[in-house]
Homo-oligomer: A and B are copies of this chain.
Amino acid sequence: MGTLIPARTLKGFRDYLPQMMIPRERIMEIARRVYRSYGFVPIDTPALEYLEILAGKGSEETDKQLYRFQDHGGRWVALRFDLTVPAARFTAQHLNELGTPFKRYHIAPVWRGENTQRGRYREFVQCDFDTIGTHSLTSDIETTLVIHDLLRAIGFREFTIRINNRRVLNGLLERLGLSDRAVLILRALDKWGKIGSEGVKRELEEVAGLTAEQAAEVLRLTEIHGDMDEVLSRAERLVQGSAVGEEGVAELREVVRGAVAGGVARECLIVDLAIARGLDYYTGTIYETFLAALPGIGSVCSGGRYDNLAALFTTQPLPGVGASLGLDRLLAAMEELGMLEAVSTTAPVFIVFFDHQHRDDYLRLAAQLRTAGLAVELYPEPKKLAQQLKYADRRGHRVAILIGEDEFRKGVCQVKDLKAGTQSEVPLDPQCSALIEHLQRLLG
């Protein structure tokens, strides 16, 4: 045997150990369930695409961050940096087969050669959902409902979905005579949460070239708070005279009304005129979602409406609306909030292995419990009881079943509640019905 190869992951990449992967899988399962409950359907696309599909489709930054190389056939290829560009390519390519409206979800990893000093990872999972091929605000409303159901199903009660409409911003800029600098202004405004009013003001003046007065007008957006109806009325006054701005406010009103009709609690919904979303392609409703207990981690679910998803790939206009759940950011938040159990098993029930002579009996018992819907781990060999119980305890099994020679003779088993530390003797009938009932009661 030669020298050992160091077992290590690449900088900016990480392994998921069971304790983290179990809740991560749980969140992905919840996302799938919620998306499906609205008729969104899953798709999958390759991790690798032709470089020309991906390059120049995000920002300058994502371009720099692209993992690109030549494949075995000399083709330039790259790892996808998001799921939006692949969705555009996919929809254009299969449009006839898919038809519209097309409601897709896509849960998959993406890769960006990010600067890891900012605590960012170079591989992370996105959970996107979009309704493609319709201008109807019903889909904007539904997007709000999905975000709401998703956060609640994951276990959050206190969060706010902040919505705005690009047209409101455009209307205001039109009134201020600043339409030509919209992109720069929205990018500056988007940083408000991070760099504050002073920072945004500086960027508006220095990068976008606004006067101090104009910058102050733009910044007034961040000062409009309070009752939803009042915010909408103030928005109306701000854009008065701009047709696009007035449309924007009307759309906002309609989305809010529909979302409330569809079940979103009013306290979870905020009209926030300062939400800008940096991405250029949004044209209507925009969404950000913040956790009340951890606003500082930023938006955990963001998105918006766009006029044309796939203009680079097809001449058919594809309007749509959607959002993306930041799975790994949310998981980090849940860890910080103590919402994750320190459990690294998927099986609440643990069977202690006492004696090789009885292996078949343990196997039969485990099979019977599984048939009753219980997840059961059987320790593979007759190590010392203390060692087996330590193993079970460390992993977080809830219940241990002990059947040694005595128990087999008496036709019973000991059921040890590993959380409470209590133990009961339960009879072992041929169908295990007493045991199954006992376990189901214990596990709730």
Contact = CB atoms under 8 A, between A and B. Distances in A.
B93 A38 contact: no
A356 to B, nearest CB: 9
Chain copies in the assembled complex: 2
B14 A46 contact: yes
Interface stretch (A157-165, A285-293, A360-368): A360-368
Contact of A4 (B314, B374, B380): B314
Contacts of A13: 46, 48
A370 B36 CA distance: 10
Given A5-B312, A10-B49, A17 B43 contact: yes
Interface in A303-355: 310-315, 344-347, 350, 353
A181 interface: no
A138 B378 contact: yes
A41 B134 contact: no
A25 to B, nearest CB: 5
Contacts of A377: 38-39, 103
Contact of A18 (B43, B376, B381): B43
Contacts of A46: 9-10, 13-15, 123
B346 A138 contact: no
A89 B7 contact: yes
Interface stretch (A227-235, A254-262, A276-284): A254-262
A27 B169 CA distance: 46
A263 to B, nearest CB: 4
A92 interface: yes
Given A103-B377, A375-B39, A257 B360 contact: yes
Contacts of A363: 138, 141, 145, 258, 261-263
Interface stretch (A72-80, A204-212, A243-251, A402-410): A72-80
A41 B347 CA distance: 9
Interface stretch (A94-102, A182-190, A411-419, A429-437): A94-102
Contacts of A427: none
In the A-B complex, the 10 residue pairs with the smallest Cβ-Cβ separation, listed nearest first, are A39-B377, A69-B69, A36-B346, A261-B360, A39-B347, A18-B41, A13-B46, A262-B363, A7-B93, A16-B44
Interface of A: 1, 4-11, 13-18, 21-22, 24-25, 29, 32, 35-50, 52-53, 65, 67-73, 75, 77, 79, 89-90, 92-94, 97-99, 101, 103-104, 109, 111, 113, 123, 131, 134, 136, 138-139, 141-142, 145, 149, 257-258, 261-263, 310-315, 344-347, 350, 353, 359-361, 363-364, 366-367, 370, 374-381, 391, 394
Given A9-B93, A47-B111, A48-B67, 19 more contacts: A7-B93, A7-B310, A7-B313, A9-B49, A15-B46, A15-B90, A16-B44, A17-B94, A17-B98, A18-B104, A24-B44, A36-B347, A36-B375, A39-B375, A48-B111, A101-B380, A261-B364, A262-B363, A262-B364
